[in-house]
Structure 1
Amino acid sequence: MASTPTAATSTKPAFKAKVIPLDDARPRRALKVCLLGYRSAPYGGGQGIYLKYLSKALVEAGHTVDVISGQPYPHLDPRVNLIKMPGMNLFETGLGSIRPHHLRSMTNIIEWSGKLTGAFSEPYCFGRRVVKYLKNHGRHYDIIHDNQCLSYGMLELQKRNFPFITTIHHPITSDLSIALKAAKNWRERLLIRRWHSFLIMQRQVARQLHHVVTVSERSRQDIAVAFDMQPAGISVVLNGIDTEEFRPLPNTVKNPNRVMAAVSSDQPLKGMRYLLEGVAKVLPKYPDLELLLVGQPKEGGESSALINDLGLSKHIRCVSGISTEDLVGFYNEASVVIVPSVYEGFGLPAGEAMACGTAVISTDGGALPEVVGDAAIQVPVRDSSAIAEALDALLASPAKREQLAAAGRQRIEELFCWRRAAQQMTNYYWQVLQRENS
């Protein structure tokens, strides 16, 4: 990879955040907001969902919002302007898509060479592209809001006095630790460490950012430890759930034999192994059980092998790349939704299922207890027997499922809505602007 900027990219002193209530509702003018995401498709994970719904909520709060994103691109509200920042997109197209003209750009060469050597260069390269664009086209924005790119380019924007904040959802150091524990041998651990080499950049960048916000109290504490930051310098604005979109559908009948899990990848972080083992344990008692997976296990991967070993193939249905409307329908049709994650910085699938009025079984990984509270059954992480026990209890009791479904919907409506999140984020933007102008 090309040489990186030195760590001392700004002489502005660190500060302790001035306390301004995030629920301050004083009237202020509308803002021009630019959101940044290096890859933002909603089916690729929580960051794409965050961009989709935060941008929509900010527009509905009266602001003008542009989203600058690399591929794969986000699904946005029509009122949000998408500015495409195409990269090589090698994780989708493969190295075979390279043509000589692609390598006329130094940024493209860095991204290509990173892929060749097993590194993940997209955040770094997106940062280079965004800096070049915003230097020419970005001075009219009131706020530039990075969605966990954490590249050296973000420090360059800060150094150039752009009004700049960053959301860090959770420290990817958690993903690395969990992946290393699940690795089978030293070669696999070597590849995992190489792919996560971008964490060196993220640690350096995070410590120098002036304005950082995260989505849960657990994430705030974990980010502070992982990136050697002070928790007091990190603000919390909880994620929201679009309760108009994710809602109980009155004409939908629940399938008493369907269990659902939104597990977007084979990463050990998502706990697929414990989900599959838990479901297998209850099959003798519930032979008609169907597990609907929103996400497709990698062909030839560990999850696919485990499905075969456990004899689950005929009990599993996989859907991927579906619309939000279809996702809401699936949540409504399921009797139980399981969130088996070892760690979550927030846990959007749990909140979405609860908003749809479906009973949830959730691990206590990361911030999930903050989301589900007492409106779901919580089980320890990495405990397939606990998942099986909780699933058996709910499948055997329609009354318990109904009680949790009602409690879950109420909790999401009261504590997690995007209107409230947009109001809090707006007040955080103004807190930043007042500090920058003081």
Structure 2
Amino acid sequence: LFVSTIEPRKNIPTLLRALRICCDRRPAAGYRLVLAGARGWLDEPILALIGELGLGDQVTRIGFVGGDDLRWLYAACRIYLNPSRYEGFGLPALEALACGAPAIVADTSSLPEVVGDAAWLAPPLDPAAWADLIEQLWHDEQTRAELRRRGPLQAARFSWHAAATQTLALYRQLAQR
């Protein structure tokens, strides 16, 4: 499962190339990728790559999903994937962990801090590395179960209340200067 706007900085081509590698290595494994998210800027080349790589039967685009449907997707997915080149925070990764999704995320920007030890990290521009991790986690039920256990614990470290409290404290500190 991938959740976010379909746009270049989200680095979906790396996922698509990794999926192609996985399907070529183990055609009978049943690899599938669900892209959940609204279309964004410069999305046409990204979506065209699905056909160019021959992944029309392995990739399902479902558009924007929110609320209970999104929580269900996170909870039901085998693996949540976020190869983003840059995230200011990485809310979808945090949401995925909160719902117990085993996750692989890019080892860039804020994502390693957000996921802590509750997800695996991969270099964002290395489809082969992503394929290796996807293949390993796809077939390792015990590790997926462990990541499902760790995810909600890590996600609980973050809250809107804590963010508001810290922001207010910073504003007060700056106002006193």
Which is helix-richer, 1 or 2? 2
Would you say 1:305 and 2:48 are equivalent positions?
Answer: yes
Q: 2:75 aligns with which of 332, 354, 358?
A: 332
Partner amino acid for 1:266?
E
Q: Are positions 1:273 and 2:13 aligned together?
A: yes
Matches within 5 A, 1:24-423: 260-267=1-8, 269-284=9-24, 285=26, 286-296=28-38, 301-413=44-156, 415-423=157-165
| Aligned equivalents of 1:291, 1:405: Cα separation in 2 | 19
Which AA in structure 2 matches 1:272?
I
What is the total number of aligned residue pairs between the two structures?
174
Looking at structure 2, the residues matched to 348 and 300 of structure 1 have their Cα atoms a distance apart, in angstroms, of 21
Q: Which amino acid aligns with 1:265?
A: I
The answer to whether the Cα contact below 8 Å between 1:364 and 1:378 also exists between their aligned partners in 2 is: yes
- What is the deviation of 1:430? 2.5
Any conservation in 1 of the 2:106–2:123 contact (CA below 8 Å)? yes
Larger Rg: 1
Bigger relative contact order (CA 8 A; separation at least 6): 2
Deviation of the 1:296 alpha carbon: 4.7
Quickly say closer, same or farther: Cα 1:278–1:308, change in 2 above 3 A: same
- Give per-residue Cα distances to partners, 1:21-47, cap 9 Å, x unaligned: xxxxxxxxxxxxxxxxxxxxxxxxxxx
Q: Write the letter of the residue equivalent to 2:70.
A: L
Distance change >3 Å, CA 404–CA 371, structure 1 → 2: same
What TM-score results when the alignment is normalised by the length of structure 2? 0.89
For structure 2, list consecutive stretches of 5 or more residues without a partner in the other structure.
none
Taking the aligned partners of 2:38 and 2:155, their CA distance within structure 1 comes to 28
Give every structure 1 segment of 4 or more consecutive aligned residues whose post-TM-superposition deviation is greater than 3 Å. Answer: 296-300, 432-435
Contact kept? 2:6, 2:43, Cα under 8 Å: no
RMSD: 1.9
Q: Which amino acid aligns with 1:261?
A: F
Corresponding residue for residue 425 of structure 1: 167
Whole-Å separation in 2 of the counterparts to 1:348 and 1:320: 18
Query: How far apart are the structure 2 equivalents of 1:366 and 1:419?
Result: 23
* 1:362-415 deviation digits (Å, cap 9, x = unpaired): 1112111111122111011201111110011111111100111111211111x2
Deviation at 1:297, TM superposition (A): 5.2
CA deviation after TM superposition for structure 1 residue 287, in Å: 4.5
Query: Deviations along 1:287-328, whole A, 9 cap, x unmatched?
Result: 422211112557982112210011111112212232222111
Give the counterpart letter for 1:271 in structure 2: N
CA distance in 2, matches of 1:328, 1:307: 26
TM-score for the superposition, normalised by structure 1: 0.38
1:360, distance to aligned residue in structure 2 (A): 0.5
